Copies of this chain bind each other. A is one copy, B any other.
């Protein structure tokens, strides 16, 4: 591996040896910090997002996730609240001093999403949407780049290279599972990407065990495994009523599961020498 000439440059360790740290208003991603991004799969209504944010604020969670524009396999599925969802995310985040991480699905939505979000997410289906990557290379906000559901590591790093080569160095990689023939899990979470990305690139990498497994009971063990593998953070789906969620309810954590997980994440991160960007102890002790 070491000797093969790499097709990417700016994302490589050879180009930049020190870890890239993503600086946000209230927190940072990378640099020995372990980050938790949490929230519902989709923003559904005002009550839902404020209820979830209030819950997350007990842990001083800094990063709120939530889909406003939702890429859905069927045109007949709930497609998100769109601009209304962005506004709700912003209001809820502002009230609870959080920052918004949300998906941008298309070049012509970049300006709108960038107006409300602090971190723009590229979903798995758009990892090789090069026009979108180029558009995101021109904004001055961080990009969370999910791995394509059947992409190789090299393709993923080249997708990040599109963003860096256009001038935006603030890219966070996110392993979210790849498609395999295994049907017991929704995807196969490929944690080996964590140390491999760390060795090949200076970019931070986080893990999405919700999408990666599709089963809420696997989220805690896979979250701890992600920490042990060296990840810089997690992105988690949590919902006040998972059983009534408009999308992906099976993989959304119940509030009490989330509380238990945060305590374990904090302890495990500290064991592995990282500080967490939230606080589980006040609530739990």
Interface residues of A (CB under 8 A from B): 1, 7-8, 71-76, 105-109, 125-126, 128-132, 149-150, 152-155, 158, 161-162, 165-166, 178-185, 188-192, 194-196, 199, 212-213, 215, 217-218, 221-222, 224-230, 268, 271-272
Chain B residue contacts of A178, Cβ below 8 A? 180-182, 188
CB within 8 A of A130: which of B72, B191, B212? B72
Question: What is the count of identical protomers in the complex?
Answer: 4
Chain B residue contacts of A183, Cβ below 8 A? 152, 183
Give Cα A154–Cα B185 distance, bound, in whole angstroms.
11
Give Cα A259–Cα B69 distance, bound, in whole angstroms.
49
Given the interface pairs A192-B222, A196-B184, the reply to whether A73 lies near B229 with Cβ below 8 Å is: no
Q: Are the CB atoms of B158 and A74 closer together than 8 Å?
A: yes
Q: Are the CB atoms of A192 and B196 closer together than 8 Å?
A: no
Q: Are the CB atoms of B185 and A196 closer together than 8 Å?
A: yes
- Considering only CB atoms, which chain B residue lies closest to A177 in the complex? B192
Q: Are the CB atoms of A181 and B184 closer together than 8 Å?
A: no
CB within 8 A of A161: which of B71, B74, B192, B226? B74
Instruction: State how many angstroms separate the Cβ of A114 from the closest Cβ of chain B.
Output: 16
Give Cα A179–Cα B188 distance, bound, in whole angstroms.
11
Q: Are the CB atoms of B179 and A73 closer together than 8 Å?
A: no
Give Cα A139–Cα B218 distance, bound, in whole angstroms.
35
Q: Are the CB atoms of A195 and B181 closer together than 8 Å?
A: no
Instruction: State how many angstroms separate the Cβ of A147 from the closest Cβ of chain B.
Output: 10
Q: Are the CB atoms of B179 and A195 closer together than 8 Å?
A: no
Give Cα A180–Cα B189 distance, bound, in whole angstroms.
12
Given the interface pairs A107-B108, A125-B129, the reply to whether A154 lies near B184 with Cβ below 8 Å is: yes
Q: Are the CB atoms of B192 and A179 closer together than 8 Å?
A: no
Q: Are the CB atoms of B195 and A192 closer together than 8 Å?
A: no
Chain B residue contacts of A72, Cβ below 8 A? 130
Given the interface pairs A190-B188, A225-B225, the reply to whether A75 lies near B181 with Cβ below 8 Å is: no
Chain B residue contacts of A131, Cβ below 8 A? 105-106, 108-109
